Structure 1
Amino acid sequence: MIHTISDVDTVALAVTDGMLHFELSLAYEVFAAAPADVTVPWYDVTVCGPVAVRVGRFRLEPDHGLDELSRADTVIVPGWADVDVDPPADLVEAVRAAHEAGARIASLCTGAFVLAAAGLLDGRRATTHWAHTRDLAARYPRVEVDPDVLYVDNGSVLTSAGKAAAMDLCLHLVRLDHGSSIANTVARRLVVPPHRDGGQAQFVTAPVPAPDNHPLAELLPWVIERLDQPLTVEDLARQARMSSRNLGRHFRSVTGTTPLQWLLTQRIRHAQELLETTDDSIDTIAAATGMGTATTLRRHFNRTVGVPPDTYRRTFRSRTRPGPHDSRQRPTV
């Protein structure tokens, strides 16, 4: 389904107690004010909700009640703060009614829980903040939750990942309605990239389990110190003094994955740290992480993180550069 914009497209921001103010403010900033050099008809933005709501620490008086959502062309549902409880029934019903009336519905961050409660995500692919993707999938099993993307466009129903990904989705909506040139103009005004590569997997930290009284407590730190070496499952089993089969069972129990997948995750995480904090070439990082070659590193990194190593480095380059006596500092190749 392709959304077609009229002379003035009405955008309704659906609010109620417990909404996150960041996502609400972000959406209002994108849709409420056209850039100075844009001459096409812009959006007519309205805020819809109960008489007065608490958004974060702020008190907000909406322009209209929730029933006004059904008259909008596009409805934006900002992030929902308490995902452990069901969203208000009146909000859920108003969002469902707006969709039935033909509105395009977009959720930002955990606003996806509202859409899921309304049944709008049943049988559809959707996303939300990576910290809540498992909760969304568990509570709404008919939703195909994708934890790795910045946003999902199903035509009449769209969902975004957390926080900054809400901006990605809002700019995507502007791009659909007005084209890339105007979306780029809006992005320049907001001093944000008009389009980001990859998905939210690049923002997810994969920490090593804390030392504890489990069978792998001594093995895991030993492996971390030797990521540059070509370790095998047999090497890990030998160091842990157990069979490969027994090692696999313990890895499943402690880390939730296989020895090789866990090892690959640690190699990728180490590569991320080196890309952020050093000038090492991709070849050097490949060797330091046990990947062997730059080609192998690029293949696994792109598949796991969602962007190539060079793109990741440009995005997450640390402001604190290695000092002149840091032996890891080398010209980038």
Structure 2
Amino acid sequence: MKRIGVVVFPGFQILDMVAVSVFEIANLEADEPAYDIEVISEQGGLVRSSSGVKVESKAFDDPAYDTVVVTGSMFVEPSSDGLRAFLNRALAASRRTTSICTGAFVLAEAGILDGRRATTHWVFGRELQHRYPKTQVDDDRIFIVDGSVWTSAGMTACIDLCLALVEADLGPEISRAIARKLVVYHRRTGGQSQFSAMLDLQPRSDRIQTALTWAKDHLRERLSVETLAEVAHLSPRQFSRAFRDETRQSPAKAIENLRVEAARSMIEAGRHSLETVAIETGFVDTERMRRAFLRAFGQPPQAIKRAARA
């Protein structure tokens, strides 16, 4: 059984404790329990989160965990000598060392991120790079794996990180089953952007939101205004006017952004040819996809594919 040590400290973000739920559900979905989960801290006992909720923890002891998960916090504060020392011992003794959100600052302060690629919540990316120039920070990724060290973006990205850890251990079927029980989309790929085209649109009405959600699930189809209007139960004229009013974008531009986001995710996953990606995301051919990528990112799909391979 794999020992998981979830590291907490005064002021940690309580949302990061969802990591415990991922491993807990993995034990239920596997043929036999795969994980022994421990919440640990420097002193042990009750540890107060930033929200005021306290969790029980064990004091640091044997650092030989399979995976150490360092939680983050709402504000970046200096970590203690004891915490840094424990993490360095755990790095040598454990198979994987991971961080959620601003937990990357704790790893960096301990010197664990020197010479490594890492990510954190996009709000803190520049600060992490400025404080720790030996770390190569990419603040537009859901999670990054560099050897035995995994770092993730903030907030709900801890779910993606832990689903990926479970997938590496137990396979994609178990990971997907956990995602279904958590009522989330299956985990986002590590290379996926922290920013979302759907979130950026933010329509106010259920009708426009329904049409966008339907479009995201049917990108391969021809998504005309007439088709989307029918899904929204509006006339094409009413739909176009409402869409622009609520999203500040035209339907065509919004659909292109959804397709570009989906195509980039597929390309960075590295399992498909550009021709397949273009077809699956509704661009039909690679030339149309190339022009859309240049508008969105200033570089063609080939460049993003090369960067992902690197």
TM-score range (shorter-chain normalised) is: 0.5 to 0.7
The residue that corresponds to 2:55 in the other structure is 60
- Give the TM-score normalised by structure 1: 0.60
**CA-CA distance at 1:283 after TM superposition:** 9.6
Q: Does 1:129 align with 2:100?
A: no
Shift of 1:201: 3.9
Give the letter for the 1:160 counterpart.
Answer: S
1:19 maps to 2:12: yes
Could you tell me how far apart the structure 2 residues matched to 1:36 and 1:82 are? 34
* RMSD of aligned residue pairs (Cα, Å): 3.2
Worse-superposed segment, 129-138 or 33-42: 33-42
In structure 2, the gaps of 5 or more residues are 201-242, 258-286, 302-310
Unaligned runs of 5+ in 1: 1-7, 207-272, 287-292, 308-333
Is 1:298 the counterpart of 2:280 in the alignment?
Answer: no
Aligned counterpart, 2:174: 182
Corresponding position: 1:114 with 2:106: yes
- Which has more helix, going by share of residues? 2
Residue 167 of structure 1: CA displacement? 1.1
What is the SS of the residue equivalent to 1:47? strand
* CA shift in 2, pair 1:40/1:304, >3 Å: farther
Alignment CA distance shift 1:296-1:34 (3 Å): closer
> Residues 13 and 35 of structure 1: is their aligned pair in 2 closer, same or farther, counting only changes over 3 Å?
closer
1:117-266 alignment, distance < 5 Å: 117-196=109-188, 198-202=192-196
Aligned to 1:244: none
Larger Rg: 1
Aligned to 1:30: 22
Contact 2:256 2:292 in 1 (8 A): no
Count of residues in Structure 1 that have an aligned counterpart in Structure 2 = 224
Q: Aligned pair in 2 of structure 1 residues 194, 276: CA closer, same or farther (>3 Å)?
A: farther
TM-score, with structure 2 as normaliser:
0.64
Q: Equivalents in 2 of 1:58, 1:87: separation in Å? A: 20
Cα pair 1:113 1:136 within 8 Å, conserved: yes
Label 1:183 to 1:285 Cα distance change in 2 as closer, same or farther (>3 A): closer
Displacement of 1:301 in angstroms is: 5.5
Looking at structure 1, the residues matched to 185 and 91 of structure 2 have their Cα atoms a distance apart, in angstroms, of 30
Aligned twin of 2:229: none
| Residue pair 1:30, 1:186 contacting (<8 A) in 2 also | yes
Please say if residues 3 and 66 of structure 2, whose CA atoms lie closer than 8 Å, have aligned partners that are also in contact: yes
SS at match of 1:52: strand
Structure 1 residue 296 displacement after superposition: 6.5
- CA gap 1:12/1:299 in 2 versus in 1, 3 angstroms: same
Q: Which is further off, 86-95 or 114-123? A: 86-95
Q: Is the alpha carbon distance of 1:189 and 1:299 closer, same or farther for their aligned partners in structure 2, counting shifts above 3 Å?
A: same
What is the alpha-carbon distance in structure 2 between the residues aligned to residue 177 and residue 275 of structure 1? 47
| Cross-structure match for 2:252 | 281
**Change in CA separation of 1:45 and 1:17 when aligned onto 2, cut-off 3 Å:** same
Q: Residues 306 and 126 from structure 1, CA distance in 2 versus in 1: closer, same or farther, beyond 3 angstroms?
A: farther
Where do residues 294-333 of structure 1 align in structure 2 (5 Å cutoff)? 295=289, 298-300=292-294, 303=297
- Local SS of the residue matching 2:113: coil
Deviation, structure 1 residue 52? 2.5
Deviations 1:29-57 (A, max 9, x none): 11123364431432110111123311131
For 1:46 and 1:61, the matched residues in 2 are separated by 10
